[in-house]
C-alpha cells in the first residue's frame, strides 16, 4: 500500500473515532433531564485491603540436655539447641547443634592402656531434619487440666565432628512435645545418629543413640 | 565455652526482643452463622465452643493455619483458617489473611532451601538463599558442607539462576556461578596439605511447587576447580531437597 493512501486512511479513522466520542459527549445524558440532583452519588470509596498484623508463632527454639551413647566410647553428657520452623500443623523443619565434652575411654583404651583419640576426644554434631507430627493429641493431668501434645517422627542429615574428622551423619528418631502453655513446651527426644567411622581400626557404621529433655519456646 | 555462649545467645536472644502485638489484638466479627473453637491448633482437636454470628472476637495469635481467638466472655480456642476467612473486621470488611498460593509462588521474592546429595563420591549438605529480581531471574548464595571417606571440606558459590517458565508447576532452571572450594584430607590419612581453590560451575535443575510455601528442588552441577597444579579438576554434583519461599 502506498504511504500516501495509508496516511489518508489513518486520518479518516482518527477523525471518525474522535468525532464519535465528541458527539457522544455532546449528547445530554438522559438521566439529567428534569432532575436537579443526582439520585446516586457516583463516588465509590476505594477499598484498601491490608493483612491485619496477627502475631504468628511458627518458629520454635529449643534448649536441651541429655545423654549420648557414642559407640565404643561410653555414655556422655550432651547439650544443644534447636531452631524449628512449622510449615503446617503436621510438618516442621528443624536444625540442631549439640556438643559433648570429651568422650569416655573405650574398653580397648582402658584394657591396653592406650589412647586412640589423643586430643580429638570432643564430640559435636549438627543436623537439618524434617519432622512430622504423627500423633497430635491432648494429655490430661488431674480432672481439670488438659495440655496439647504431639508424638512426632523426625529424620535428617548432618555432620558429626569426632576423632578429628567430619563425618557425614544420618539421623532419625522420635519425640514427644507437651505444651505447658500456649508458647512453652517440654520435649523428650530419642535420636539415632549413624555415621561411618574407622577409629577402632575397622571401617564400620556406628549407631549413636541419644536421649534428651528440652524446653522449647514458640515465637 | 565460646560455643556454650553461642548456644545460650541463640536460645535467649528472641526473649529480649520487644513483645509485639501483645496489647492490640486484631478484632473480628463473626459473619458466618457460627464459628467453631477447637481445643488445639491441628486436626483432630475437638470443637468445644461455638461463637454466634455478630459476636466479636479477639485474634491473639496464629500458628500455621490456625488462629487462637478470645471471645467477649473470655473463652480461648483455636479457629481454622477457612473459618477465620469468613469473618469481618470491625469496619465490616472481610478479614484479609496471608494464605500463600501458587500465584504467590510465581511472584516470590525470597527463597531458602536445603539439599542433600553427592559431590564426586562425597556427601554434601547444602543450604542456599535466593533473591528473585524478576520472575525469571534470581541470584543465589549457596554453602555446602562436604564429607567424604578421604577428605572433607566446604564449598561456597554465588550464582545467577534463570527459570524460563516460572508459572509451570514443575519448572526447569539453569544456573551459572563461581566460588571457593576448601578440601581437608581426613586426619587418619597421611598428612597432606589443605587446599582452597576457586571453582566455576554450570547447573541444571527442576523446581516443583508442592503446597503453600513449600517446593521441591533437585539439580545437577558440573564444577571446574581451578587448581594451582597442572590439571584443572572436574567435579559432578547431584542433589535434591526442599525449599520454602516468603
| A162, pLDDT greater than 80 | yes
List A residues 113-172 in contact with B (Cβ-Cβ < 8 A). 120, 124, 128, 130, 133, 136-138, 146, 148, 150, 157-159, 163-168
Mean pLDDT of A46-68: 84
Q: Which residue intervals of chain B bear CATH 2.30.30.40?
A: 23-99
pLDDT exceeds 50 at position B21: no
For residues A58-86, average pLDDT: 92
Residue of chain A whose Cα is closest to the Cα of B2? A99
> Per residue in A19-48, pLDDT tens?
444 444 444 455 554 556 667 776 766 666
The Cα–Cα gap between A191 and B199 comes to: 36
Domain B23-99 has CATH 2.30.30.40: yes
Report pLDDT for A186: 95
pLDDT at B244: 86
- Check pLDDT > 90 for residue A81: yes
- Mind giving me the DSSP string for B143-177? EEEEE-SSEEEEEEEEEEEE-S-TTSSEEEEEEEE
Cβ of residue A202 closer than 8 Å to a chain B Cβ: no
Write out pLDDT tens, residues B52-111: 888 888 888 899 889 999 998 889 999 998 888 888 887 778 887 877 777 888 888 999
pTM of the model as a whole: 0.75
pLDDT at B49 over 80: yes
pLDDT in tens, A117-142: 777 888 999 999 999 999 999 999 98
Which among B20, B44, B152 is the nearest to A136, CB-wise? B44
> Alpha-carbon Rg of chain A, whole angstroms?
35
Residue A104 has a pLDDT of: 83
Q: How far is B240 from chain A (nearest CA, A)?
A: 13
B125 to A56: CB separation less than 8 angstroms, yes or no: no
CATH class entry, domain B104-245:
mainly beta
**Nearest CA of chain B to the CA of A86: how many Å?**
7
Report chain B residues whose CB lies below 8 A from the CB of A138.
39-40, 45
Question: In chain B, which residues have their Cβ closer than 8 Å to the Cβ of A86?
Answer: 63-64
pLDDT of residue A155: 94
| Cβ-nearest to B96 among A49, A150, A199 | A49
Q: What residues in B contact A57, CB-CB < 8 Å?
A: 61-63
What's the pLDDT tens digit per position in B181-221? 998 887 655 556 778 889 999 999 999 998 778 899 999 99
Residue range(s) occupied by CATH 2.40.160.20 in chain B: 104-245
Of A151, A157, A159, the closest CA to residue A171 belongs to A157
| pLDDT > 90 in chain B, percent | 42
pLDDT higher than threshold 90 for residue B147 = no
Q: pLDDT averaged over chain A?
A: 82
**DSSP readout, A64-100?**
EEEEEE-TTS-EEEEEEEEEEEE-SSSEEEEEEEEEE
Question: Touching check for A53 and chain B: CB below 8 Å?
Answer: yes
User: Any idea which residue has 467477649 for its cell?
Assistant: B72
Instruction: List domains and CATH numbers for chain A.
Output: 59-218 (2.40.160.20)
Pairwise CB contact (< 8 Å): B10 & A81: yes
Residue among A99, A150, A182 minimizing CB distance to B68: A182
Give A212: exposed, middle or buried? Use CB within 10 Å, 0-12, 13-18, 19+. buried
The yes-or-no verdict on residue A11 having pLDDT over 90 is no
What rounded mean pLDDT belongs to chain B?
A: 84
Predicted local confidence at residue A179, as pLDDT: 92
Q: Residue B5's pLDDT is what?
A: 56
pLDDT the model gives residue A38: 63
| H or E element that contains B77 | strand B76-80
pLDDT, residue A20, reads 46
Q: What is the pLDDT of residue B88?
A: 84
Confidence of residue A14 (pLDDT cuts 50, 70, 90): low
Q: Looking at the partner chain, which of A57, A136, A166 has a beta carbon nearest the beta carbon of B152? A: A166
Predicted pLDDT at A211: 95
The answer, yes or no, to whether residue A210 has pLDDT greater than 90, is: yes
Amino acid at each position: 500500500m502506498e504511504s500516501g493512501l495509508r496516511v489518508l486512511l489513518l486520518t479518516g479513522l482518527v477523525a471518525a473515532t474522535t468525532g464519535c466520542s465528541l458527539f457522544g459527549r455532546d449528547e445530554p445524558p438522559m438521566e439529567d433531564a428534569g432532575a436537579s440532583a443526582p439520585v446516586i452519588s457516583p463516588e465509590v470509596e476505594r477499598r484498601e485491603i491490608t493483612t491485619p498484623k496477627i502475631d504468628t508463632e511458627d518458629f520454635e527454639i529449643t534448649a536441651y540436655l541429655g545423654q549420648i551413647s557414642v559407640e565404643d566410647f561410653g555414655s556422655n553428657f550432651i547439650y544443644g539447641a534447636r531452631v524449628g520452623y512449622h510449615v503446617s500443623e503436621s510438618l516442621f523443619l528443624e536444625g540442631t547443634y549439640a556438643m559433648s565434652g570429651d568422650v569416655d575411654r573405650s574398653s580397648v583404651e582402658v584394657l591396653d592402656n592406650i589412647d586412640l583419640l589423643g586430643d580429638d576426644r570432643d564430640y559435636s554434631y549438627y543436623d537439618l531434619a524434617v519432622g512430622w507430627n504423627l500423633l497430635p493429641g491432648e494429655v490430661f493431668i488431674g480432672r481439670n487440666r488438659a495440655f496439647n501434645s504431639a508424638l512426632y517422627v523426625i529424620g535428617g542429615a548432618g555432620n558429626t565432628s569426632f576423632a578429628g574428622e567430619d563425618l557425614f551423619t544420618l539421623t532419625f528418631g522420635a519425640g514427644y512435645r507437651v505444651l505447658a502453655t500456649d508458647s512453652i513446651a517440654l520435649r523428650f527426644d530419642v535420636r539415632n545418629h549413624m555415621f561411618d567411622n574407622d577409629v577402632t581400626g575397622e571401617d564400620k557404621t556406628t549407631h549413636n543413640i541419644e536421649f534428651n529433655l528440652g524446653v522449647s519456646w514458640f515465637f | 565455652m565460646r560455643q556454650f555462649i553461642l548456644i545460650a545467645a541463640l536460645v535467649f536472644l528472641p526473649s529480649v526482643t520487644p513483645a509485639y502485638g501483645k496489647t492490640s489484638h486484631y478484632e473480628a466479627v463473626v459473619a458466618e452463622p457460627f464459628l467453631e473453637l477447637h481445643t488445639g491448633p491441628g486436626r483432630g482437636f475437638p470443637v468445644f465452643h461455638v461463637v454466634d454470628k455478630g459476636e466479636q472476637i479477639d485474634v491473639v495469635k496464629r500458628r500455621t493455619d490456625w488462629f487462637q481467638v478470645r471471645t467477649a466472655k473470655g473463652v480461648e480456642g483455636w479457629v481454622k483458617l477457612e473459618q477465620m476467612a469468613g469473618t469481618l473486621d470491625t469496619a465490616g470488611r472481610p478479614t484479609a489473611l496471608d494464605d500463600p498460593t501458587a500465584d504467590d509462588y510465581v511472584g516470590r521474592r525470597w527463597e531458602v532451601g536445603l539439599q542433600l546429595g553427592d559431590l564426586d563420591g562425597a556427601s554434601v549438605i547444602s543450604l542456599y538463599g535466593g533473591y528473585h529480581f524478576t520472575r525469571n531471574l534470581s541470584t543465589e548464595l549457596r554453602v555446602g558442607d562436604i564429607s567424604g571417606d578421604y577428605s572433607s571440606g566446604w564449598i561456597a558459590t554465588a550464582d545467577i539462576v534463570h527459570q524460563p517458565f516460572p508459572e509451570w508447576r514443575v519448572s526447569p532452571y539453569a544456573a551459572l556461578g563461581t566460588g571457593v572450594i576448601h578440601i581437608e584430607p581426613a586426619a587418619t590419612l597421611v598428612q597432606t596439605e589443605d587446599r582452597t581453590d576457586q571453582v566455576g560451575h554450570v547447573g541444571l535443575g527442576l523446581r516443583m511447587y508442592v503446597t503453600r510455601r513449600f517446593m521441591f528442588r533437585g539439580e545437577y552441577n558440573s564444577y571446574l576447580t581451578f587448581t594451582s597444579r597442572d590439571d584443572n579438576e572436574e567435579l559432578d554434583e547431584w542433589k535434591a531437597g526442599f525449599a520454602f519461599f516468603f
